[in-house]
Amino acid sequence: CSIGVALPVYSTFKAIEKNDQKEKEKWLCYWA
């Protein structure tokens, strides 16, 4: 598992968990 995938996945889940709107938008743009 490469860090290039693991870190964004982790960060995305943390943003959703915290319900951080800015972070969620940032990561949703990243995944889109």
Structure tokens at 1: 């598992």
pLDDT for position 27:
81
Q: How many domains does the chain have?
A: 1
Give 16's pLDDT tier (boundaries 50, 70, 90). Answer: confident
pLDDT of residue 15: 85
Range of the domain at 6: 1-32
pLDDT > 70? residue 20: yes
* pLDDT, mean over the chain: 83
**pLDDT for 21:** 87
Pairwise CA distance, residues 18 & 23, whole Å: 9
Is residue 15 a contact partner of residue 27, using CB atoms and an 8 Å limit? yes
The Cα 16–Cα 25 span in angstroms is 10
pLDDT band with cut points at 50, 70 and 90 for residue 1: low
